[in-house]
Amino acid sequence: MVINFGAGPAKLPEEVLKEVQKDLVHYPGADISVMEMSHRGSHYAAIHEAALQSLKDIIYIPDNYKILLMQGGGTGLFATVCMNLMGRTGTADYIVSGSWSAKAAKEAEKYGKVNLVIPKTSKYTSIPDQYTWNLDPNASYVYYCDNETVDGVEFNFVPDTKGVPLVADMSSNFLSRPIDVSKYGVIFAGAQKNIGTAGITVVIVRDDLIGHAMKITPTILDFEIQAKNNSIYNTPPTFIIYVMGRVFEWIKRCGGITAMESNSLKKSQLIYDVIKSSNGFYKCLLDSNCRSRMNVPFRIGDANEELEKQFLKEAESKGMIQLKGHRSVGGIRASLYNAITIKEAQILAEFMTDFYKRNE
Ligand code: PMP
């Protein structure tokens, strides 16, 4: 048995993998593989529409929003957001709460003026109170990352931007809890964590933010062109969109967004509880009000690298893989995306308890 606790590309539900395997050579009714279908043909059109519809079945998306399926990953969207939105005033607010929002802010500097909403820090362990934020009323948008995959910082509230459009990177917590889409200007999420495989980014964008792309914007990154063409302006990654559609169906079968949220709370609580009851053997430096349900980073003692190595080795020998922290921060990180079961999180929690009792 192997349990993949990787941060992404991450575990996919086995049910989905089996369905994909079944359809791989002969897609029912088409007799060719999805990978061989024309993106303009009726079979693919049905797959594409079904994926969009399933997403709308999972979260309510108001009529004044479009769903776009874009390429270039989360990183591509760092630039795409700027090119489409920043032209309005030439300036944007960035809430830098971890490594990914820091990267997005750096990318944005190429396109306009970046205002940092919270003070710069080298370690990301908290989110300062909103009343201390330095928001610019002239900003084209306020950008933040809802869940920082590397640092494990997750927002437990929607930032109040005083009417300025809010842009959220939800790459690593998308569809793990309900989303009030109406509070956002743009939401984007790379698929390879909670909703599929690498190669597609879901973008949900409010209509009034479409049609303002800078002149330099490459055609395929222009929200307006993608919206007008239902994200089939050029060849989309058809197979990847098909897999994502299957994951959406799986989420629906499992009980939808409320089930995903309740599972995520249970799974993360199991791990945080072991950390808390370990008498300081395991350390999670994050403030308790921003601890991620998706990525749980922790250290052993005061960064005891020898013991961490031993932990990872023993975990791997028991089939628990990809628990190593991101290379930029080290330590250990358990990623608990939608496809990880409560039982699997329990197995990790039990191993953690056993390991600490043997090594404290
Ligand atoms: N944002 C977040 C929150 C991420 O976790 C990642 C990747 N792990 C990215 C953006 C970048 O995504 P990509 O590798 O698809 O460019």
Kindly report the CA angle at 153 between 151 and 159, in degrees rounded to 5?
A: 145
**Cα separation of 342 and 23, whole Å?**
28
Looking at residue 18, its pLDDT comes to: 97
C-alpha–C-alpha distance, residues 359 and 339, integer Å: 31
**What confidence score (pLDDT) does residue 122 get?**
86
How far is Cα 54 from Cα 42, in angstroms, rounded to an integer?
Answer: 18
SS3 state at 193? coil
Question: For position 231, what pLDDT does the model report?
Answer: 98
> Hey, what are 92's tokens?
């944007």
Each domain of the chain, given as residue ranges in start order, spans 15-253, 256-359
Which architecture characterizes domain 256-359 according to CATH? Alpha-Beta Complex (3.90)
With the most atoms of ligand 1 within 8 angstroms of its CB, the residue from 94, 172, 195 to mutate is 172
The tens place of each residue's pLDDT in the chain, 360 residues long, gives 899 999 999 999 999 999 999 999 999 999 999 999 999 999 999 999 999 999 999 999 999 999 999 999 999 999 999 999 999 999 999 999 999 999 999 999 999 999 999 999 989 999 999 999 999 999 999 999 999 999 999 999 999 999 999 999 999 999 999 999 999 999 999 999 999 999 999 999 999 999 999 999 999 999 999 999 999 999 999 999 999 999 999 999 999 999 999 999 999 999 999 999 999 999 999 999 999 999 999 999 999 999 999 999 999 999 999 999 999 999 999 999 999 999 999 999 999 999 999 998
CA 194 to centroid of ligand 1, rounded, Å: 12
CA–CA–CA angle 171, 102, 321 (5° rounding): 50
Helix (H, G, I), strand (E, B) or coil at 108: helix
Catalytic residue among 93, 151, 169, 222: 169
CA-closest residue to ligand 1 atom 12: 74
- Which residues have CB under 6 Å of ligand 1? 8, 73-75, 100, 145, 149, 169, 171-172, 190
Can you tell me which atom of ligand 1 is nearest the CA of 198? 15
Q: What is the pTM of this model?
A: 0.98
CATH architecture assignment, domain 15-253: 3-Layer(aba) Sandwich (3.40)
pLDDT of residue 234: 98
Which residue among 11, 193, 267, 324 is the active-site one? 193
pLDDT value of position 2: 96
Helix and strand numbers (H, E) in the chain are 9, 14
Same fold, 15-253 and 256-359: no
Distance CA 42, CA 39 (A): 8
Q: Ligand 1 pocket test: which of 70, 75, 335 has the largest number of ligand atoms within 8 Å of its C-beta?
A: 75
How far apart CA 112 and CA 3 sit, in angstroms, is 43
User: Is residue 323 within 8 Å of residue 334, measured between CB atoms?
Assistant: yes
Q: What are phi and psi of 270, to 5 degrees?
A: -55, -45
133 carries an active-site annotation: no
